[in-house]
Structure 1
Amino acid sequence: MNATEILEKLVSFPSVVGTPNAEIVAWIRAYLAAQGVAVTVLPGPEGDRSNLFATIGPVDVPGYILSGHMDVVPAEPSEWSCAPFQLKRDGERLTGRGTTDMKGYLATVLAAVPQLVAARLQQPIHIAFSYDEEAGCRGVPHLLARLPDLCAPPLGAIIGEPSNMRAVLAHKGKAAARVSLRGRAGHSSRPDLGLNAIHAMADVLNAAVEQAAALVQGPFDAAFAPPYSSLQAGVIAGGKALNIIPDLCTLELEARAIAGIDPAGLLAPVRARAEALQAQGFQVEWTVTSAYPALALAPDRPLAGLVAALSGQTPLGAVSYGTEAGLYQAAGVDAVICGPGDIGRAHKPDEFILESELAACQRFIEALGARCAA
């Protein structure tokens, strides 16, 4: 099967983030097994979704990881000009959910497998496909925890998020949280008898706004746009009716941190303001919904030079979106982003990738295989 045929199959699996992924895992496992590649399926604690790891070449020699995620964001069919989970071909444009983010990369990795197997690699190439990346990189930590049992310490990991096949050396870290305030309901005519959770949440929201304004003042890293860490409140909900004192209000917020800054720490002033409301009788629940560290690969690291040489493009210093690369680096594995397609097409209706972009990525992977066979 070529990359387009494989992509067509992968897109047909509606592997939406947060849902079971047994079907796509089973298909990839069977495809690799047919090429003579042994696969380890790593179930996550959720019980209905798994990571997948495979090795081409010697397991006990340091090599390279090709890393990608199998999940995609949801797609509302009414917003698409075609069925989102059925690949549509129009010339070299291939439209479907996940074509760019990032089943196109998975397809090129799998399409390159027969040549990698035939090359009799002296250094291994590992395939690491994860789940629930779109929910804040929830799946890959379980894979990374098993990595010492699966292979020799890797020389590096190439995370195939869409970057127009240009190496990306850094991205921001992220922490997201949900705060819930529970007060006391009652009739709006007697506010003295209730505890208004929405009113109380206003203080927490003000803390988030104040922290966001403070972060604009620095510290700075000119590699990023914007060149500072950021914080925003994204979702707020509460109340049942206008004449009922709302006893519950929830706020979801996120912080994105430049390299060297702990993203969870940026949320600390907001959490403190929320927890202070306990003294007024509110029940406060703070839940971290996702967290991953920033990526910062030095330009003089061997992996940066290797990917630049194979791609033929000068590395890009940084992007503001996040990936699993920071988690690989935190686990002691050098990591870089390099994959087909443009991030600007991701998470949108009529998401697409070009066959020429798939071909460029497959050439890149096969060139890596040639290096590992030398």
Structure 2
Amino acid sequence: MDVKEILARLIAFPSVVGTPNGAIADWIGDYCRTAGADVTVHLGPEGDRYNLFATVGPREGRGYILSGHMDVVPAGEREWSSDPFVLRAEDDRLYGRGTTDMKGFLACALAALPKLAAMNLRRPIHLAFSYDEEAGSRGVPHLIAELPNLCDAPLGAIIGEPSRMQAVRAHKGKAAVRLEVIGRSGHSSRPDLGLNAIHAMANLITAVAEYGKSLTSGPFHHDFAPPYSSLQVGVIAGGQAVNIIPDRCICDVEVRAVPDISPSSLLEPVRAKLAVLRDQGFEVGWQELSAYPGLALPEGSQLATLLRELTGQEPLAAVSYGTEAGLYQQAGIDSIICGPGDIGRAHRPDEYIEVGELAACQTMIEELGTHLAEG
């Protein structure tokens, strides 16, 4: 199968984040075995989602990981010009949910697999495909924890998130939490007898937003845009009807941190502001939704040098979006981002990838094999 045929098969699986992914994991596993790879599939704690790990080349020795995620964001937007789960070709573009983020990279790795398996590799190449990356990288920590049982310590990991095939050495870290305020319900004509959770949350959000503004004062890392850490309140929900005092309100807050700053540490002032509401008679809740560390690979690292050779481009210093790369680095594995597509096309209607981008990515992966093959 060529890369376009493989991509069409992958897009046809509606592997939306937070839903069972056994069908796509099974198909990829069968394909990898047929291509000559050794495959292990790991069930996550959710009971219906799987990580997949496949190896070509020698079973021992330090090699490289090609990392990607099998899940995609939902595709419910009305603006889609065609079925988002049916690959549509138009000129040099291939449309469908996940073409850029990031089934295009998966397709390239799978298309290259038969050629890699036929090479006399001195070191292994591993495919590490995770689930629920779009929900805060929930699947890959379980896969990373299993790596000592699956392979020798890798030399590095290439995370194939869309970067227009220019390697990226750094990204911000992220943490997200759900705040909950519980008051006391009642008839809206007697606000004195209730505790309005929405009013309390509104005051809290105002204070949190002001704190967020303070992050613009630094510390700075000028490789990023913006060059400082940031905070956003992204979701708020509460209340039943306008004539009922709302007894519950929730809001979701995220922070994105520049390197050397712990994302979770940026949320501690938010936790303190939430706790103050207890003194006003409210109950409060704090639920961690997701967290991953930033990525910071030195410019002169062996992995950055390798990607410069494989792509013919100087690695980009940093991007502001996040990936699983920081988690691999946290586990002691040098990591870098490099994949086909443009992040600007992701998470939107009529997502697409260009045929030439797929070809460039497959060539890069096959060149990695040549680099590791015996002469």
Query: 1:274 aligns to what?
Result: 274
Query: 2:209 aligns to what?
Result: 209
- Deviation, 1:222, is 0.3
Query: 1:125 aligns to what?
Result: 125
Q: Is the 8 A contact 1:77 1:83 kept in 2?
A: no
CA–CA distance in structure 2, aligned partners of residues 232 and 87 of structure 1: 34
- Distance change in 2, residues 1:258/1:63 (3 Å): same
CA–CA distance in structure 1, aligned partners of residues 188 and 356 of structure 2: 63
Q: Is the 8 A contact 1:203 1:273 kept in 2?
A: no
CA–CA distance in structure 2, aligned partners of residues 364 and 295 of structure 1: 22
CA–CA distance in structure 2, aligned partners of residues 305 and 204 of structure 1: 47
Q: Is the 8 A contact 1:84 1:96 kept in 2?
A: yes
Query: 1:263 aligns to what?
Result: 263
CA–CA distance in structure 1, aligned partners of residues 142 and 165 of structure 2: 27
SS of aligned partner of 2:217: coil
Q: Is the 8 A contact 2:132 2:139 kept in 1?
A: yes
The letter for the 1-side match of 2:92 is E
SS of aligned partner of 1:52: strand
Query: 1:17 aligns to what?
Result: 17
Query: 1:59 aligns to what?
Result: 59
Q: Is the 8 A contact 1:207 1:269 kept in 2?
A: no
CA–CA distance in structure 2, aligned partners of residues 273 and 59 of structure 1: 52
CA–CA distance in structure 2, aligned partners of residues 120 and 31 of structure 1: 20
- Deviation, 1:9, is 0.3
**In terms of mean alpha carbon deviation, does 199-208 or 40-49 score higher?**
199-208
Query: 2:70 aligns to what?
Result: 70
- Deviation, 1:77, is 5.7
CA–CA distance in structure 1, aligned partners of residues 131 and 68 of structure 2: 9
Superposition map of 1:106-121 within 5 A: 106-121=106-121
- Deviation, 1:202, is 2.2
4+ aligned runs moved over 2 Å, structure 1 = none
For structure 1, which runs of at least 5 residues remain unmatched after alignment? none
The letter for the 2-side match of 1:58 is P
Query: 1:93 aligns to what?
Result: 93
Query: 2:239 aligns to what?
Result: 239
- Deviation, 1:207, is 2.5
- Distance change in 2, residues 1:77/1:265 (3 Å): closer
The letter for the 2-side match of 1:301 is S
CA–CA distance in structure 1, aligned partners of residues 362 and 332 of structure 2: 27
CA–CA distance in structure 1, aligned partners of residues 13 and 213 of structure 2: 42
Q: Is the 8 A contact 2:233 2:251 kept in 1?
A: yes
CA–CA distance in structure 1, aligned partners of residues 255 and 84 of structure 2: 31
CA–CA distance in structure 2, aligned partners of residues 191 and 78 of structure 1: 41
What whole-Å deviation, never above 9, does each CA across 1:223-249 have from its counterpart, x for those lacking one?
Answer: 000000000111111111222111000
SS of aligned partner of 1:72: coil
- Deviation, 1:23, is 0.4
Query: 1:323 aligns to what?
Result: 323
Superposition map of 1:126-141 within 5 A: 126-141=126-141
What whole-Å deviation, never above 9, does each CA across 1:95-116 have from its counterpart, x for those lacking one?
Answer: 0000000000000000000110
CA–CA distance in structure 1, aligned partners of residues 363 and 112 of structure 2: 8
The letter for the 2-side match of 1:74 is P
Query: 2:314 aligns to what?
Result: 314
Query: 1:35 aligns to what?
Result: 35
SS of aligned partner of 1:84: coil
What whole-Å deviation, never above 9, does each CA across 1:272-295 have from its counterpart, x for those lacking one?
Answer: 111221222211110010100000
CA–CA distance in structure 1, aligned partners of residues 268 and 152 of structure 2: 38
CA–CA distance in structure 2, aligned partners of residues 346 and 190 of structure 1: 48
Q: Is the 8 A contact 2:119 2:373 kept in 1?
A: yes
The answer to whether structure 1 residue 355 and structure 2 residue 361 are counterparts is: no
- Deviation, 1:52, is 0.2
Q: Is the 8 A contact 1:77 1:84 kept in 2?
A: no
Q: Is the 8 A contact 1:64 1:158 kept in 2?
A: yes
The letter for the 1-side match of 2:201 is M
What whole-Å deviation, never above 9, does each CA across 1:22-62 have from its counterpart, x for those lacking one?
Answer: 00000001101111212100111000010000111122200
- Deviation, 1:203, is 2.8
Query: 2:371 aligns to what?
Result: 371
Q: Is the 8 A contact 2:36 2:114 kept in 1?
A: no
CA–CA distance in structure 1, aligned partners of residues 34 and 58 of structure 2: 19
For structure 2, which runs of at least 5 residues remain unmatched after alignment? none
CA–CA distance in structure 2, aligned partners of residues 13 and 253 of structure 1: 31
The letter for the 2-side match of 1:333 is I
Superposition map of 1:150-165 within 5 A: 150-165=150-165
SS of aligned partner of 1:111: helix
CA–CA distance in structure 2, aligned partners of residues 122 and 43 of structure 1: 30
Superposition map of 1:161-200 within 5 A: 161-200=161-200
Q: Is the 8 A contact 2:179 2:286 kept in 1?
A: yes
Q: Is the 8 A contact 1:183 1:281 kept in 2?
A: yes
CA–CA distance in structure 2, aligned partners of residues 35 and 46 of structure 1: 29
SS of aligned partner of 2:40: strand
Query: 2:6 aligns to what?
Result: 6
The letter for the 1-side match of 2:350 is D
- For these two proteins, the number of residue pairs brought into alignment is 374
- Deviation, 1:261, is 0.4
